[in-house]
Amino acid sequence: MPNPRLTGLGGGLFCAAVMFVLGSLDQLLFGASLTAYGVLFLPVCVLTAAWVRGADLVIAPVVVPIAFTVGLLPVADGDGFLSRLMGIVTALATEAGWLYGGTLVAGVIAVVRRIRLMNRRPGRTRMPV
């Protein structure tokens, strides 16, 4: 498995681009199934949190909800601008479980990685208790 290290901006762009592509594929293959979109969202959250570099770990739980919204653009119902905007807001409200779950997964992975990075710092001595 590749082990890229994305900057904060790169992680955000990666996550948003992948979610837009997955939203478009969901629209074509499944007829805009929001459940399928939510299931596809979780691995993207894991990859984003795993591939962002250590200095930018705080960005992972921030960009995944934004990317979820970007990916809803092709999936949301509506013909005009306001109708599509209402479809996005409705999808965000009805699929909040997937959104919160993915954000939680990204946050937990980021926190665990940060703790592991802090414990690996050179020169850190542990005092016996």
Task: Note the pLDDT tens digit of each residue in 12-37.
Answer: 999 999 999 999 999 999 988 999 99
Tell me, what's the pLDDT at 89?
95
In angstroms, rounded to a whole number, what is the distance separating the alpha carbons of residues 33 and 15? Answer: 20
- Tell me how far apart the alpha carbons of residues 67 and 72 are, in angstroms, rounded to a whole number: 9
Mean pLDDT along residues 63-84:
93
The confidence score (pLDDT) of residue 124 equals: 58
DSSP string, 21-48: HHHHHHHHHHSS-HHHHHHHHHHHHHHH
Please, which residues have CB within 8 angstroms of residue 122's CB and are 6 or more apart in sequence? none
Share of the chain above pLDDT 90, in %: 79
pLDDT band at 7 (very low <50, low <70, confident <90, very high): very high
- Average pLDDT score over the chain: 91
Residue with tokens 């807001």: 89
CA neighbor of 60 nearest in space, from 19, 22, 4, 12? 12
pLDDT over 80 at 108, yes or no: yes
In terms of Cα–Cα distance, which of 69, 68, 51 is closest to 110?
51
Token output for 33: 């199934």
pLDDT of 4 reads 80
Exposure string (b/e) for 63-74, b if CB count within 10 Å is 16 or more? bbbebbbbbbeb
Greater confidence, 126 or 105? 105
